[in-house]
Amino acid sequence: MTVLRPHAEDQYAEELALLAKDDDRPRPPGWRLSPWAVTRYVLGDGDAISPKYIGPRRVVEVAVATLATDRALLLLGVPGTAKTWLSEHLAAAVSGDSTLLVQGTAGTAEEAVRYGWNYARLLAEGPSVDALTPSPVMRAMAEGRVARVEELTRMPSDVQDALITVLSEKTLPIPELNREVQAERGFNLIATANDRDRGVNELSSALRRRFNTVVLPVPATAEEEVEIVARRVAQLGRALELPETVTGMEEIRRVVTVFRELRAGVTEDGRTTVKSPSGTLSTAEAISVLTNGIALAAHFGDGVLRPSDVAAGIVGAVVQEPVSDRVVWREYLETVVRERGDWRDFYRACREVS
């Protein structure tokens, strides 16, 4: 593939085909795989099927079971808990198409959820089916597929509420044409949201009742987070065709440790309390820091990932507010990092870029 980031159904087409071939369990109407096979695709089987999400199995089972009902699925969690990643893979496994996507922003219009018009045809012909521009949600309803809405709480409240009729009645009225689109079997909707970002619009109680909410937790242990980061960094390195680099687990574990301690406000051994910065310091940011470090090591270093390659990325991730976060970082650097004998190279590298 020459595209920078293939869709899940393209990148993992062989795994999906293998699962479909061996899947003899009951499938809900319109599904490509059974719920059991969808869960196996997401979590992996330790053999031919690679894990896409590393986390509690029950979380994935509840999410998949929700999609098999008439309730929509809301994946809720702090930034970096793989909400978007999981929603894409669920849509790919259930309906073979993860591209029916609405990206929620403060400027998202109601047409993105319902439908719009080709105004040239509208002016020339008047309202007609040919002049209609269906939204991804409308297409998913007509084709019996899974639609995705990213960052639902970033959308204006009136746009959010345009989903109420779709989710409750499984119908999208088109009053201009005196007709409606009724959802085909297999249709459902996956939304993602977090309530820690700025600019959040709370969901109305009427809309929230239409969703079954599944909270995605942050990695429970350091080892689990290290595994997630190491796996994703390796995947991204291959996808970006970065030169081969010696990526020591020591640097991955160090970045994860820094992020976890600053998030929690206490060191791993529980002996030292530290201040937390304003940023989220998510697992996704740790992956970004390490991927950038690998690029530095490959193109400007000796091909070995070293503390100097990740130091600038860590400082950039921690210091979001120039004044308050810089104080937090310097205090952590002097009271925690400096005291760790095997972190001396990392301490010096961070001091240089700070």
Per-residue pLDDT tens digits for 67-84: 999 899 999 998 888 999
The answer to whether 296 and 243 have CB atoms below 8 angstroms apart is no
Query: What backbone torsions phi and psi does residue 26 show, to the nearest 5 degrees?
Result: -60, 135
Average pLDDT (223-245) is 83
The residue count of the chain comes to 354
Burial class (CB in 10 A: 0-12, 13-18, 19+), 224: middle
Q: What are phi and psi of 214, to 5 degrees?
A: -120, 120
For a pLDDT cut of 70, what percent of the chain falls above it? 97
Run of H or E including 171 = strand 171-174
pLDDT at 58: 96
Provide the mean pLDDT of the chain: 92
Q: At 237, is the secondary structure helix, strand, or coil?
A: helix
pLDDT (0 to 100) of residue 86: 97
349: pLDDT strictly greater than 70: yes
**What average pLDDT does range 120-148 have in this prediction?**
94
Higher per-residue pLDDT: 86 or 125: 86
Average pLDDT over residues 112-135: 92
Question: How far is Cα 28 from Cα 288, in angstroms, rounded to an integer?
Answer: 38
Q: Can you tell me the mean pLDDT for 225-236?
A: 89
From residue 316, alpha-carbon distances to 48, 166, 251, 320 in Å are: 38, 42, 17, 7
Cα separations in angstroms, 95 against 59, 121, 200, 209: 20, 32, 30, 24
Q: Write down the pLDDT at residue 235.
A: 83
**Dist. CA 13–CA 3, nearest whole Å:** 15
Q: Which of 92, 85, 76 is closest to 12 using CA atoms?
A: 92
> How far is residue 61 CA from its own chain's centroid?
18
Helix (H/G/I), strand (E/B), else coil: 96: coil
**Mean pLDDT within 115-119:** 93
| Residue range 228-253: mean pLDDT, rounded | 81
Q: Which residue has the tokens 């619009």?
A: 201
According to the model, what pLDDT value does residue 236 have?
83
SS3 134: strand
pLDDT at 279: 86
Both tokens of 196, joined, read 């820690």
The candidate with the shortest Cα–Cα distance to 307, out of 349, 256, 353, is: 349
Beta bridge partner(s), residue 103: 150
Question: For 186-208, what is the mean pLDDT?
Answer: 86
Q: What is the pLDDT of residues 258-277, one digit of tens each?
A: 999 999 999 999 999 999 99
For 149, the 3-state DSSP assignment is strand
Predicted confidence band of residue 247 (pLDDT cuts 50, 70, 90): low
For residue 199, the model assigns a pLDDT of 61
Which is nearest to 11 in space by CA: 188, 227, 304, 236? Answer: 236
> What is the per-residue pLDDT for 197?
66
Please give the radius of gyration of the chain, using alpha carbons only, rounded to the nearest integer: 23
Place of tokens 């998510």: 282
Structure tokens at 104: 């929620």
If we measure between CA atoms, which residue out of 243, 251, 159 comes closest to residue 203? 159
Q: Identify the DSSP state of 337.
A: I
At residue 109, φ and ψ (nearest 5 deg) are -95, 165
The beta strand positions in 7-141, using DSSP E, are: 72-76, 101-103, 115-117, 132-134
Question: Using an 8 Å Cβ cutoff, are 286 and 229 in contact?
Answer: yes
